[in-house]
A and B are shown apart, each in its own frame.
Chain A
Amino acid sequence: DTAVSQTPKYLVTQMGNDKSIKCEQNLGHDTMYWYKQDSKKFLKIMFSYNNKELIINETVPNRFSPKSPDKAHLNLHINSLELGDSAVYFCASSQRTANTEAFFGQGTRLTVV
């Protein structure tokens, strides 16, 4: 019974395409995140939603648009994909209190060719 699940696990697509990654958590958490892990394995936050409201929006190209239909789901849509978007994207969730663990999904490896 996966706590944070992402789909798809792998995504290979051509430059210029539009793609979406879906994320769902069954932990009852009120906050969800998208992180990007680059080729050097460095994890950097992209977005965070709390109860469907955007609370963190780091410097990310506006080709990336998160959508949270409810607090258990946070999807990531990417328009006009570029080679530099190739990375592993992780969804995470936590409760918006100071001392709760964050739980991560298994990641989506996006390869743009």
Chain B
Amino acid sequence: KQEVTQIPAALSVPEGENLVLNCSFTDSAIYNLQWFRQDPGKGLTSLLLIQSSQREQTSGRLNASLDKSSGRSTLYIAASQPGDSATYLCAVQQQNYKLSFGAGTTVTVRA
């Protein structure tokens, strides 16, 4: 059974600091890994998808790495802004196409 863990559970940083969010998974037989953002009371917004054959993916200030063999992914957010405050969820897609989620990291960026 796939288990996804995100560390830390919460993070508070001053504006401008870089953010590092970690995700680990127990079963490396994955199709891809997705990072999502969830704002309070809202749905999930897809940020990045890394295919199992890729090592990293970038979108603007966001960069995500994937080490499939060790079951780890890291999301880097450069030069954080108050608007980056949200919960960030990591999810792995397995061969039955379902997504298994971590519990999330709640980020607060202080102005």
Instruction: List A residues at the B interface (Cβ < 8 Å).
Output: 4, 31, 33, 40-45, 48, 50, 55-56, 90, 92, 94, 96, 98-107, 109
Contacts and interface: CB of A to CB of B under 8 A. Distances in A.
B101 A106 contact: no
B98 A99 contact: no
15 contacts: A33-B98, A40-B103, A42-B103, A43-B89, A45-B99, A48-B98, A50-B97, A98-B31, A98-B52, A99-B32, A99-B51, A101-B34, A101-B49, A102-B34, A102-B46
User: Which A-B residue pairs are the 4 nearest by beta carbons?
Assistant: A98-B31, A104-B44, A106-B43, A43-B101
B97 to A, nearest CB: 6
A104 B43 contact: yes
Q: Interface size bucket, B side?
A: 20 to 34
A98 B98 contact: no
Contacts of A45: 98-100
Given A43-B101, A45-B99, A55-B96, A99 B43 contact: no
A105 B42 CA distance: 9
Main secondary structure of the interface of A (DSSP, over half): strand
Nearest to B97: A96
B87 interface: yes
Given A33-B98, A43-B91, 4 more contacts: A41-B103, A98-B93, A99-B31, A109-B41
A24 B23 CA distance: 31
Interface string B87-111: 1010101001111110110000000
Interface string B32-48: 10101000011111100
B97 A106 contact: no
Contacts of A100: 49
Contacts of B93: 98, 102
Nearest to B52: A98
Contact of B43 (A33, A40, A90, A96): A90
